[in-house]
C-alpha cells in the first residue's frame, strides 16, 4: 500500500520564512522544513496499480505557472485540538489547479473529496490543552506575509509513517505547461 497526496512544495526562502515564524513554545507540534507543503489533494492508501494510474493521470494536467504568496495565519479547530496554518493567496489559480487534480483522481476511480478546498500550509498541530497557545500564535502572526513565489510544478508524494514521525518522498513532479 502507498499513502499518497498531491502538493505544492514552496521554495526555500518561503519555507525559511515559515520556520522563522515558528515558536519554541510548548504544546505545539511544529512541522519540519522537509514536510512544509500546500496539499492539493490527499489520496490516502492505495495499491500499486492504482498509484501508477494516479501518477499517469496527473501527467495529463496542463496548467499555467502562477504566483502565490503567504498572507496571514489561521487555525482549524477540532474537538481534540487542531492545526495552525499559513494562508496562500491568491486563491483562484491554486483552487483551479486543485480542481484539475481532483478531476484526475476521479478519472481513475477515487472517491471525490468532500471537504471544501482551503489553500494553506500546515505549520503545527495542537491538542485541546494547547488551544490558548495556538490562539496566541495566531494573534501574534496575523500579518505574516511573503513576497510572491512562482508555482511552476506540483508533486505526487508518498507519506511514510514511522515511530520517528512522518517522512515524505517525492514520487513524481509535474511541471506547468
> For cell 512544495, what's the residue?
9
CA distance 156 to 145: 26
For residue 118, give the C-alpha cell. Answer: 482551503
Catalytic (active site) residue 118: no
Separation of alpha carbons 61 and 30, rounded Å = 32
* 164 in catalytic set: no
117, with CB counted inside 10 A (0-12, 13-18, 19+), is middle
Residue ranges in the chain modelled with pLDDT below 50: none
CATH number for the domain spanning 20: value is 3.90.1140.10
Write out the three cell numbers for 53. Answer: 494510474
Question: Tell me, what DSSP letter sits at residue 156?
Answer: E
DSSP code for 145: B
Write down the catalytic residue from 2, 118, 120, 160. Answer: 120
What confidence score (pLDDT) does residue 111 get?
95
Number of neighbours of residue 8 by Cβ within 10 angstroms: 21
pLDDT at 25: 67
Please name the residue ranges forming H helices in 5-162: 12-21, 48-58, 91-107, 131-140
Alpha helices in the chain (DSSP H): 12-21, 48-58, 91-107, 131-140
pLDDT of residue 87: 97
Could you tell me the residue range of the domain that residue 74 belongs to? Answer: 2-175
Domain count, the chain: 1
Q: What is the pLDDT of residues 50-61, one digit of tens each?
A: 999 999 999 999
Q: Could you say which of 2, 37, 118, 160 is catalytic?
A: 37
Amino acid at each position: 500500500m502507498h499513502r499518497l497526496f498531491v502538493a505544492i512544495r514552496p521554495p526555500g526562502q518561503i519555507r525559511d520564512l515559515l520556520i522563522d515564524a515558528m515558536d519554541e513554545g510548548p504544546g505545539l507540534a511544529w512541522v519540519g522544513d522537509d514536510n512544509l507543503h500546500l496539499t492539493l489533494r490527499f489520496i490516502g492508501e492505495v495499491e500499486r496499480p492504482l498509484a501508477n494510474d494516479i501518477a499517469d493521470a496527473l501527467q495529463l494536467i496542463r496548467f499555467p505557472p502562477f504566483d502565490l504568496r503567504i498572507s496571514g495565519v489561521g487555525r482549524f479547530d477540532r474537538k481534540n485540538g487542531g492545526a495552525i496554518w499559513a494562508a496562500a493567496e491568491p486563491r483562484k489559480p491554486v483552487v483551479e489547479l486543485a480542481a484539475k487534480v481532483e478531476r484526475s483522481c476521479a478519472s481513475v476511480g477515487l472517491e471525490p473529496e468532500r471537504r471544501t478546498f482551503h489553500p494553506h500550509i500546515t505549520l503545527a498541530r495542537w491538542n485541546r490543552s494547547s488551544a490558548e497557545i495556538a490562539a496566541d500564535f495566531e494573534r501574534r502572526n496575523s500579518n505574516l506575509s511573503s513576497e510572491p513565489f512562482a508555482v511552476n510544478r506540483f508533486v505526487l508524494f508518498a507519506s511514510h509513517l514511522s515511530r520517528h514521525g512522518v517522512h515524505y518522498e517525492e514520487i513524481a513532479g509535474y511541471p506547468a505547461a
